[in-house]
Each structure stands twice: as C-alpha cells, then as structure tokens.
C-alpha cells in the first residue's frame, strides 16, 4: 500500500493557496483542510456573541464545538455545534478579524489538536499560514505560495465581485497590506516559508500550471510511484 502524505500549502492572502489547495486535493484524491476557515469561524462566533478579541480566554473557549468533516472532493465545511456556517465566513470583515484572532495564543492552542488530528492518517492537503512551520513540521511535502501585492489584490477583488459582494479595489489592496503586516509580524507562528518549503511565485501563472507543478512534486515524493519515461 502506498503511504499517503501530509502536504502543506502556506502563503499570504490572495496568493492562490486556497484555490490550488482545493484543486490539488481533488486531483490526487486527498482530503482538504483550510485552516484559515477555522480562525474565521472563531472570528464569526465572536462577532455573533459580541465577544471582544481582547478576551483571550473567551475566544479560546469558542473553539469548543468546532468540527471539520473532511472530504476528498476539494471542498471543506466548518460546523459549529452541528450547524454548517461555511457560507458566512468569506467576507473581508471576517478575514481581517480572523487575522487578529489567529495571533491569540489561547485560540492557537485550542485549534492545534483539531488540525493535527485531521492529518494523523496522512492523505491530506493542509492549507494556511503556519502549516509547514508549526502544525505539520514533519510534513513530507511543503509548499509556500506567494505573489506580488497588486496581483493578490486583483484576485481578491475579482473573487469578491464574482461572489456578489461590493468591493473597492483600493480598500482591498490596503486590507491585504494590513493583513500581511499582522501575519508576518505576530510573535506567535508568524507567516514565513518553512526552510524545506518549495516556494512558488504565482504572479502571472495560471492556476492549472501551478497545480500541475505541485502535483508533479507530490508524485516525486510518493513512495512506490514510478515516473514514466516515453
């Protein structure tokens, strides 16, 4: 039996990691874990209950009841006490708040076992900002995706508009710059490539091209997989 790998995909907002992570997982029939959605779920719950992000203990307790049923179709759902809230988590407001929430030690400590348990058996593509450095430091394959801020802002703007949401290009770009600063400067698990990551700059590269390159690297690391030579 071929051993199934743990594959991590990290990178800043708008780098394409969510899209390619889903596509890669679907292509190789692996489960997909979008850890950013977990922090968004905590942020969403805090907004619903009016809990301040300065209340570390309360935010940590909010992680109880969050479950992530994983599938091999490149999709991911987040449930809070059995209710699927996935569709409510993709707003810019939630994203900004989630960036702050993810820097809170109590939240990170509470979510770490949930993330690691999802990858215990392998066969998973885990996407986020510290997958290769903190959550799965021993992952067999690690990717770090990046793109210049203008390209990332353009992608995020189009994503919001296509989703039927109002967006201002300038505000989207400024929001990304704020999130970049928060993610890279936080004391706990700052955003950075793992030393053994394959770094891919996705600026100007089509999604299919990025996924194909990643799939090739995964095949090269999969035990028992031979490369055909024509």
pLDDT of 229 reads 34
> What's the pTM value of the predicted model, to 2 decimals?
0.85
pLDDT of 72 reads 67
pLDDT of 53 reads 85
8-36 residue pLDDT tens: 999 998 899 989 999 999 999 999 999 88
pLDDT of 74 reads 66
pLDDT of 133 reads 95
Residues linked to residue 80 through DSSP beta bridges, in sequence order: 66, 83
pLDDT of 228 reads 39
Domains in the chain (CATH in brackets) are 6-212 (3.40.50.300)
**78 in Cβ contact with 38 (< 8 Å):** yes
Residue 180, Cβ density class (10 Å: 0-12 exposed, 13-18 middle, ≥19 buried): middle
- Cα 14 to Cα 152: distance, rounded to the nearest angstrom: 4
**42 in Cβ contact with 101 (< 8 Å):** yes
- Cα 33 to Cα 138: distance, rounded to the nearest angstrom: 17
pLDDT tens digit at each of 230 positions of the chain: 566 899 999 999 889 998 999 999 999 999 999 988 899 999 999 999 999 988 998 999 888 888 888 776 667 888 888 889 988 888 878 988 988 898 899 999 999 998 999 888 899 999 999 999 999 999 999 999 999 999 999 998 998 888 788 889 999 999 999 989 988 998 888 999 999 999 999 998 889 999 999 999 999 988 755 443 33
**141 in Cβ contact with 8 (< 8 Å):** yes
DSSP SS3 for 220: helix
């Amino acid at each position: 039996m071929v051993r199934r790998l743990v594959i991590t995909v990290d990178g800043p907002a708008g780098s394409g990691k969510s899209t390619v992570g889903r596509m890669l997982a679907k292509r190789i029939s692996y489960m997909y874990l979008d850890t950013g959605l977990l922090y968004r779920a905590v942020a969403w719950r805090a907004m619903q209950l009016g809990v301040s992000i300065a209340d570390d203990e309360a935010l940590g307790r909010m992680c109880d009841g969050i479950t992530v049923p994983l599938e091999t179709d490149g999709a991911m759902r987040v449930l809070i006490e059995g209710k699927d809230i996935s569709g409510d988590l993709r707003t810019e407001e939630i994203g900004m708040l989630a960036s702050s929430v993810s820097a809170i030690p109590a939240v990170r400590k509470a979510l770490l076992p949930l993330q690691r348990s999802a990858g215990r058996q392998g066969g998973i593509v885990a996407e986020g900002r510290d997958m290769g450095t903190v959550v799965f430091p021993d992952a067999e394959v690690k990717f770090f995706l990046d793109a210049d801020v203008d390209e990332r802002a353009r992608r995020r703007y189009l994503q919001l508009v296509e989703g039927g949401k109002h967006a201002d290009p300038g505000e989207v770009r400024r929001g990304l710059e704020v999130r970049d600063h928060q993610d890279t400067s936080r004391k706990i698990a700052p955003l950075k490539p793992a030393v053994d990551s394959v770094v891919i700059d996705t600026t100007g590269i089509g999604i299919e091209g990025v996924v194909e390159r990643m799939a090739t690297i995964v095949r090269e690391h999969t035990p028992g997989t031979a490369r055909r030579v024509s």
